[in-house]
Structure 1
Amino acid sequence: MSGSSDLNQSYYAATAQAWETQAALACAEDCDVAVIGGGFTGLSAALACAEKGLSVILLEAQTIGFGASGRNGGQLIPGLRWSMQEIDAEFGRERAQAIFDLAYGAVDRVKHRIAEHHIQCDAKAGHLEAAYRPAHFDAMQRDAAFLAQHFGWEAQIVQPQDIGRHIHGGGYHGGIYDPQGGHFHPLNYALGLAQAAQKAGVRIYENTAAQTPADTGTHVQIRAGVGTLAAKHVIMAADTWTGGIAPELRSYTVPIMNYIIATAPLPDADQLLPSDAAVADCRFVLNYFRLSADKRLIFGGGEKYVQTPPTDIGAFVRKHIAEVFPSLADVPIDYAWGGAVGVTMNRLPHMGRKGNLFYAHGFSGHGALVTTLAGELMAEAVVGTMSRFDVFANLPHIRFPGGKWLARPLATLGLLYYAMLDRL
């Protein structure tokens, strides 16, 4: 979720761990690897590169975790937007296994980083995908059975009569509970990665906007703020800002605006979500929600396909809360914020390489886990180990049609169509 600072009046910003803002780049510097972007992807890439003995400089146009990494729903959902049934049917078993090993292995990478660096980010286990319609539950059960049989990933089928173990509200028709998923405080995770990266030797510059890198063949030159940077390799990790720095990548994603609120602490929070799992339903325009460490409901609902935010974000999200939890129709809302999610045409992350420049973006609202992995894969690729990076880099992608001026309006028409189907 990228966005302006007036959209980032978030619960996460209000409860962030201490972080000393880093100075902007103001001179000429050089390094082995320049990382552009201070979110999960860039921070994990920088940290992994430093661990490999490379000199690393990270440039962040705003502040660490300013974009999607610091303001998302905090839901840790294993896998990708495609089910493993879809991936297996599209790519065959051998490629599907490689994709599974990485996408689902991202869970352990995030858990490892949290434990290794003692990151205090309120990490909790458990994620429920809730069926909005009976037909959704049937499809979920087939997907879960396929995942268990062919890839050994066990999740729990929650029958409609047992949904109250996890949620009282929503009228859901069963679901899939994954104990290996979960939720966390995303901004504190980002700040924890930043602190770990600094300890590993990464030089971080905030409030330093990078211009389009110039690859000379022997090194890459970047103008950033009032300074300059020369690097052997560049890692682009700017997500929805990627197109502004690398125009040739602009048409691979469109930004979708999402909005989230945090209520006042709820005295009956444990009755609403008894297992303390994060919950997301399976509609195209989904609702997703969880409890914070201090028992607030953090709820995201609805999407907008124009970048102008609602006049009142709290009121915009409140109607979705009332649909799921009628008893909370008038609950006080203490924080309301939003931003843009970079979405690809096929909803799979877009990763690749152009000369000495590596990039990863377009996580399509499913990146809280995979972004950490993506950064580490790019670090591997920088030192010449391409095999795991190529698993994602070889995923097929097409540009949104319409060019610079029509791509977003055309994508919006398609998104509105699928959003309409939720209401039929």
Structure 2
Amino acid sequence: MAIAPPVHTEEHARSWYTATASRTTDYPTLTDQVAADVCIIGGGFSGVATALALGEKGYDVVVLEANKIAWGATGRSGGQLIRGLGESPERYRRYIGREGVDAINRMGFESVERVRSIVSKYRIQCDLQMGYLDAALKPVHMKALADEQVWLEEQGYPRMVRLLESAELRDVIGSRQYIGGLVDEGSGHLHPMNLCLGEAEAAEQYGVQFYERSRVTAVNKTNTNGKHQIITDRGSVNARMVVFCGNAYLNDLEPQLSGRVLPAGSYIIATEPLSESVRDELLPGNHAVCDHNALLHYFRLSSDGRLLFGGRCNYTGRDPKSISQSLIPRMRKIFPQLNQVAIDYEWGGWIGISANRIPQIGRLNLTTYYAQGYSGHGVNATHMAAQLIAEAIDGQLSRFDVFDRIHHRPFPGGKYLRSPMLATGMLWYRLKDLLP
């Protein structure tokens, strides 16, 4: 088994994604003063996809990344491309109206199509594979999935969904842990780092400038020219617009935003390559899988035949002593066939959690935008956020304003107490998961 370094270093996590990355970026460090229409802070999916969307519209864009492109949650995620943008927007109807609720639901479907369109348009090699199983562990899960199937049909969801009982699951997953599930052929999985790297390469075609190892230390709201001055360790950017895309790694750069998102740890292991017969036994249709627990586990096959298995979402702010030792027991419970299989990679990182589990897409003022708090739906939701911000900067505010009208309160407890308070609260959900 590979020995993992500390979860966060200046270089990429020592993951299977890094080992199979399509290219190694070597963008310069910002050491001068440059100007742009838009400066984007953060080089993950949110930042890179926004840069690409703005580049397509003809804007002059600079992206500043503190470490490397796709260094954070983007390059560490489960790589699951799942329709929807988080919790149902129905609870916000009084703020956004029936039209707003319907718009967010449609955007939840569109978000996946947006990723598929980018992959196709720019011919990005990121192992995109459609097919997803939401797996039920108990009857209450099956009831929820049956209701979801009805809702999807009512919404006119354009892809095939199938509700499977236990006896039918064998065609999708070789595990006795589940009593059924909902198969969605409109969701799937991919290599997230290669998608982001491919999008950065596409954005360069439109003149987008990327700077790595260029940590932003301050953002002056406006200077004498009416522009923002974004200051890094060794340089600065003057820009008409700023977009904050740091998410869980924003730290204290913009307190109005950092207080609204909680960094939570999520972790993954990758097995050694499995034989074709074992792969066909585990996941014969090559679907991505999530269980339906609140504190869920997720898994899928990689392009070279490994099982990538993730979960153990950690709200305490402390990484496990051993990622493998914390995940292997659950993996083997689901797939006893893997009892003797070696683990070649283990890694983790932070995802940004919103208190209401819906993405935070908005602006602090007329020239300062942000996107964060995807709460586990980052692969697709980031691309929807990017599209909405690009539309808004280009003067098309109708869809962006739907999200901007949703109020996001800061987590209680401040910087030091919010994590332990939420970790304590999540014990309730853990207990619910354990109930039949």
Distance verdict in 2 for CA 1:84–1:156, change over 3 Å: farther
Q: Map Cα deviations across residues 288-309 of structure 1 (whole Å, 9 max, x no partner).
A: 0000011100000322233332
Quick check: 2:171–2:285 contact (8 Å CA) kept in 1?
yes
Distance verdict in 2 for CA 1:402–1:311, change over 3 Å: closer
2:399 corresponds to: 388
1:369 pairs with 2:380: yes
1:222 pairs with 2:226: no
Distance verdict in 2 for CA 1:93–1:248, change over 3 Å: closer
Match of 1:246 among 247, 250, 254: 254
> Residues 260-409 of structure 1 correspond to what in structure 2 (within 5 A)?
260-267=268-275, 268-355=278-365, 356-409=367-420
1:58 corresponds to: 63
1:82 corresponds to: 87
Measured after TM superposition, the shift of residue 170 of structure 1 is 4.5
Measured after TM superposition, the shift of residue 383 of structure 1 is 1.9
2:137 corresponds to: 132
Structure 2: distance between partners of 1:340 and 1:118:
29
Structure 2: distance between partners of 1:284 and 1:379:
33
Structure 2: distance between partners of 1:88 and 1:54:
34
Distance verdict in 2 for CA 1:43–1:83, change over 3 Å: same
Structure 1: distance between partners of 2:157 and 2:55:
34
Match of 1:49 among 50, 54, 61: 54
> Residues 140-151 of structure 1 correspond to what in structure 2 (within 5 A)?
140-151=145-156
Q: Map Cα deviations across residues 241-275 of structure 1 (whole Å, 9 max, x no partner).
A: 22422112122111111110110011111211011
Structure 2: distance between partners of 1:43 and 1:84:
26
Task: Select between 284-293 and 145-154 the one with higher mean Cα deviation.
Answer: 145-154
Distance verdict in 2 for CA 1:152–1:14, change over 3 Å: closer
Measured after TM superposition, the shift of residue 85 of structure 1 is 7.0
Q: How many equivalent pairs are there?
A: 423
Structure 1: distance between partners of 2:237 and 2:257:
22
Measured after TM superposition, the shift of residue 87 of structure 1 is 7.3
**Partner amino acid, structure 2, of 1:272:** L
Structure 2: distance between partners of 1:57 and 1:50:
10
2:100 corresponds to: 95
Structure 2: distance between partners of 1:220 and 1:12:
35
Percent identity, please.
39
Instruction: Give the 3-state SS of the residue equivalent to 1:265 in structure 2.
Output: coil
**Normalised by the size of structure 2, how large is the TM-score?**
0.93
Q: Map Cα deviations across residues 21-43 of structure 1 (whole Å, 9 max, x no partner).
A: 11100001111000111111100
Quick check: 1:7–1:338 contact (8 Å CA) kept in 2?
no
Structure 1: distance between partners of 2:72 and 2:244:
14
2:183 corresponds to: 177
Match of 2:240 among 228, 232, 236: 232
1:190 corresponds to: 196
Quick check: 1:251–1:407 contact (8 Å CA) kept in 2?
no
Measured after TM superposition, the shift of residue 317 of structure 1 is 1.0
**Normalised by the size of structure 1, how large is the TM-score?**
0.95
Distance verdict in 2 for CA 1:136–1:20, change over 3 Å: closer
Quick check: 2:295–2:433 contact (8 Å CA) kept in 1?
yes
Measured after TM superposition, the shift of residue 321 of structure 1 is 0.3
Quick check: 2:218–2:232 contact (8 Å CA) kept in 1?
no
Quick check: 1:220–1:230 contact (8 Å CA) kept in 2?
yes
Structure 1: distance between partners of 2:7 and 2:404:
27
Quick check: 2:95–2:405 contact (8 Å CA) kept in 1?
no
Structure 2: distance between partners of 1:117 and 1:179:
23
Quick check: 2:272–2:342 contact (8 Å CA) kept in 1?
yes
**RMSD between aligned alpha carbons?**
1.9
Structure 1: distance between partners of 2:161 and 2:428:
31
Task: Select between 4-13 and 111-120 the one with higher mean Cα deviation.
Answer: 4-13
Structure 2: distance between partners of 1:16 and 1:170:
34
**Partner amino acid, structure 2, of 1:360:** A
Structure 1: distance between partners of 2:360 and 2:50:
16
Measured after TM superposition, the shift of residue 72 of structure 1 is 0.4
Q: Which stretches in structure 2 are left out of the alignment for 5+ residues?
A: 1-5
**Partner amino acid, structure 2, of 1:422:** D
Quick check: 2:391–2:400 contact (8 Å CA) kept in 1?
yes
Instruction: Give the 3-state SS of the residue equivalent to 2:252 in structure 1.
Output: helix
Instruction: Give the 3-state SS of the residue equivalent to 2:345 in structure 1.
Output: strand
Instruction: Give the 3-state SS of the residue equivalent to 1:58 in structure 2.
Output: strand
Task: Select between 406-415 and 122-131 the one with higher mean Cα deviation.
Answer: 406-415
2:23 corresponds to: 18
Quick check: 1:281–1:287 contact (8 Å CA) kept in 2?
yes
Instruction: Give the 3-state SS of the residue equivalent to 2:215 in structure 1.
Output: coil
Q: Which stretches in structure 1 are left out of the alignment for 5+ residues?
A: none
Task: Select between 206-215 and 89-98 the one with higher mean Cα deviation.
Answer: 89-98
Distance verdict in 2 for CA 1:380–1:92, change over 3 Å: closer
Task: Select between 368-377 and 4-13 the one with higher mean Cα deviation.
Answer: 4-13
Quick check: 2:217–2:232 contact (8 Å CA) kept in 1?
yes
